[in-house]
Amino acid sequence: MSHPIVSCACGRPGDGTHAVAVDPVIKRAVLTRLRRIEGQVRGLQKMVEDERYCADVLMQVSSAQEALRGVSRSLLHNHLKHCAAAAIRSDDPDRAEAMYDELLELVFRSSR
């Protein structure tokens, strides 16, 4: 039985756009990383404006991409620990199945 992919199958309260639980340590680390990445991207813009050597720019792009992958890993960790665990342990088989589908979609998208 195929279930539609949902953003989060953990029964979100309120407006449905906020996480159920975010580990404060992960949140702080992710925000710090994102600010650092923002600086890297501004640096990339300046490198392009200054017509820096292509290989140097490409190395910095690679560095920013790896930093974003790190953010993804942290967010996935939080999602698995809180949202996915709650959905899979729930008494609702449809909720658990939707979470399995969501996790598969996340894995396939992140592996591209």
**Which sequence spans correspond to the domains of the chain?**
24-110
- Length of the chain counted residue by residue: 112
Assign 22 a pLDDT band (cuts: 50, 70, 90).
confident
User: Does residue 6 sit in helix, strand or coil?
Assistant: coil
| 24-110 is a CATH 3.50.30.30 domain | no
Element (H, E) at 4: none
End-to-end CA distance of the chain: 25
Instruction: With beta carbons less than 8 A apart as the criterion, state whether 71 and 26 touch.
Output: no
> What's the whole-number mean pLDDT along residues 20-26?
82
Contact at 8 Å (CB) between 65 and 73? no
User: What is the pTM for the complete model shown?
Assistant: 0.75
pLDDT over threshold 70, residue 15: no
Statement: residue 10 has pLDDT above 70:
no
The count of C-alpha atoms lying within 13 angstroms of the C-alpha of 29, restricted to the half-sphere facing its C-beta, is: 15
